[in-house]
């Protein structure tokens, strides 16, 4: 039915909980689900990196977090300190929101400096960290999406990511295809925002996504098992 | 018609633009509108504090910004650095989002330490700064709202604020009344989120708000002038 194996799909999923009202019990549950389903990573707010790292010690699940999230409009000093603390707390993956206004204003020097500082502090502490740049495509023109991808690639990011999930729209197949066409096979593409079922996840992967950010990972894996059972 | 004068109302308004897609031209316009309408302050994302400070130099309009916005779920180090940079950039008012999960988990020691660190770095650089704690009341029980107010007061905040404007609900009269009943006349109460006309603004003030956060300030002042003209 699909070329992907179940385990390959699971490894592509960032099991995500970024709601501000999440409590520590929710984070524990998220981590347990990630282990059980063999997800590649969890994605939690920076304040929850320490408990997620404790929960996932000794497992293959990586702890991811978000920087400048979800607006991307904080100052560089805030993003750098947030990332520095998260990496020292044990985070291994970092989804960094681009400064959207600066991108629209074509402030490329500002953006390069900010990415340089943020990615620099992460890599210094953890050379194998995965850094993803969130573009929030629903707010951008195609030209801005392309410029954002190029800046992310030039500044040493590992992936570009469509959306925060808090914006006016989530991942679309067209955006995933566009991002993939710009970054080629040099960078990964993470589709996130509004991916709530297996069908949508597979459409994103077919369009070029190498990573899926979703809070519906458990449901998606259940749908996989049910689809398999029907074959 | 109202006991308030037009100028008193204007001074209570934080003229707000926090959309992530705002560009520098939008910030200039916001500042011009604030000067023209005699608003008390503007409220912008931290990355836009420097241009707002430049635009408003020599005027009576104060530059406000947001910390840990809008989720409140970043780490303390990120909030502290963000605030430290914003105060050195010239911000005079700081709307700090409480860590909502920690509040729900009754992690009062964590919250006190975080408020102490954030408020400390602000006051050290600028003793006259106004610090507001955003509770995001739409996500809280009444008991959590009360606890949030008490923590904000104990930690030296100047105001409590209902909402970010990015949550599932904005200011309500009931919440403003509740917050006011807890803080008495020791702290201010800022109503924000969904206040888009004069009638709503006046309802919030009647319920106990001493500050109004809105992106509809210009429209509200126009409505005031029209209402006056009809008397």
Q: Per-residue pLDDT tens for B45-85?
A: 999 999 999 999 999 999 999 999 999 999 999 999 999 99
What is the rounded CA–CA span in Å between residue A215 and residue A13? 9
- Express each pLDDT in B82-110 by its tens digit: 999 999 999 999 999 999 999 999 999 99
Give the residue from A50, A63, A78 with the most B CB atoms within 10 Å of its CB, the best one to mutate. Answer: A78
Average confidence (pLDDT) over B169-180: 98
Q: Where do we find the tokens 């500050």?
A: B211
What Rg value do the Cα atoms of chain A yield, rounded? 17
HEC assignment per residue over chain B: CCCCCHHHHHHHEEEEECCCCCCHHHHHHHHHHHHHHCCCEEEECHHHHHHHHHHHCCCCCEEEEEECCCCCCCCHHHHHHHHHHHHHHCCCEEEEECCHHHHHCCCHHHHHHHHHHHHHHHHHHCCCCEEEEECCHHHCCHHHHHHHHHHHHHCCCCEEECCCCCCCCCCCHHHHHHHHHHHCCCCEEEEECCCCCHHHHHHHHHHCCCEEEECCHHHHHHHHHHHHHHC
What is the rounded CA–CA span in Å between residue B141 and residue B144? 5
- Express each pLDDT in B190-216 by its tens digit: 999 999 999 999 999 999 999 999 999
Query: Given this model, what pLDDT does residue A1 score?
Result: 45
For residue A150 the two structure tokens come to 């190029």
- Express each pLDDT in B112-149 by its tens digit: 999 999 999 999 999 999 999 999 999 999 999 999 99
DSSP state of A139: G
For residue A46, the chain B residues in CB contact (below 8 A) are: 73-75, 78
Check whether the bond before A202 is cis (ω within 30° of 0): no
For residue B158 the two structure tokens come to 């100047």
**Among all residues of B, which ones are annotated catalytic?**
95, 161, 190
Task: Find the chain B residues whose C-beta atoms sit closer than 8 A to any C-beta of A.
Answer: 18, 20-24, 26, 45-49, 69-82, 84-86, 89, 97, 99-102, 104-105, 136, 139, 166-167
Q: Alpha-carbon torsion B87, B89, B91, B94, what sign? A: negative
Angstrom CA distances, A27 to A18, A47, A52, A152, stand at 10, 11, 7, 30
Query: Given this model, what pLDDT does residue A230 score?
Result: 72
Task: Find the chain A residues whose C-beta atoms sit closer than 8 A to any C-beta of B.
Answer: 18, 20-24, 26, 45-49, 69-82, 84-86, 89, 97, 99-102, 104-105, 136, 139, 166-167
Domain ranges of chain B: 6-230
> CATH number of B6-230: 2.40.50.140, 3.20.20.70, 3.40.50.720, 1.10.3720.10?
3.20.20.70
- Express each pLDDT in A43-59 by its tens digit: 999 999 999 999 999 99
Query: Given this model, what pLDDT does residue B3 score?
Result: 80
Query: Given this model, what pLDDT does residue B2 score?
Result: 57
Nearest by Cα to B48 from B76, B68, B28: B28
Q: What number is the ipTM of this complex?
A: 0.97
Measured between CA atoms, the residue of chain A closest to residue B100 is A21
What is the rounded CA–CA span in Å between residue B26 and residue B69? 19
For residue B21, the chain A residues in CB contact (below 8 A) are: 100-101, 104, 139
Binned at pLDDT 50, 70 and 90, residue B1 comes out as very low
Question: Are B105 and A73 a contacting pair at CB < 8 A?
Answer: no
Is residue A96 within 8 Å of A68, Cβ to Cβ?
yes
**What DSSP string describes A46-73?**
GGGHHHHHHHHTTSSPEEEEEESTTT--
Indicate the burial class of B76 (C-beta count within 10 angstroms; 0-12, 13-18, 19 or more): buried
Is residue A99 within 8 Å of A57, Cβ to Cβ?
no
DSSP state of A42: E
For residue B14 the two structure tokens come to 């934080």
Does pLDDT of B229 surpass 80? no
Q: Which residues of chain A have pLDDT under 50?
A: 1
**CA of residue B158 relative to chain centroid, distance:** 11
């Amino acid at each position: 039915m699909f070329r992907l194996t179940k385990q390959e799909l699971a490894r592509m999923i960032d099991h995500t909980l970024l709601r501000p009202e999440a409590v520590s019990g929710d984070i524990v549950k998220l981590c347990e689900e990630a282990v059980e389903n063999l997800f590649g990573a969890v994605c939690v707010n920076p304040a929850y990196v320490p408990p997620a790292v404790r929960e996932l010690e000794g497992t293959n699940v990586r702890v991811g977090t978000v920087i400048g999230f979800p607006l991307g409009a904080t100052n560089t000093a805030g993003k750098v300190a947030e990332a520095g603390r998260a990496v020292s707390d044990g985070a291994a993956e970092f989804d960094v929101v681009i400064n959207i206004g600066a991108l629209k204003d074509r402030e490329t020097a500002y953006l390069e400096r900010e990415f340089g500082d943020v990615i620099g502090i992460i890599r210094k502490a953890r050379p194998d960290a995965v850094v993803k740049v969130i573009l929030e495509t629903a707010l951008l023109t195609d030209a801005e999406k392309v410029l954002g991808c190029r800046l992310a690639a030039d500044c040493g990011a590992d992936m570009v990511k469509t959306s925060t999930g808090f914006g006016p729209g989530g991942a679309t197949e067209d955006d995933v295809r566009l991002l993939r066409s710009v970054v080629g096979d040099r960078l990964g593409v993470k589709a996130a925002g509004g991916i709530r079922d297996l069908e949508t996840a597979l459409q994103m992967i077919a369009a070029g996504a190498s990573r899926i950010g979703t809070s519906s990972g458990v449901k998606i894996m259940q749908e996989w098992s049910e689809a398999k059972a029907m074959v």
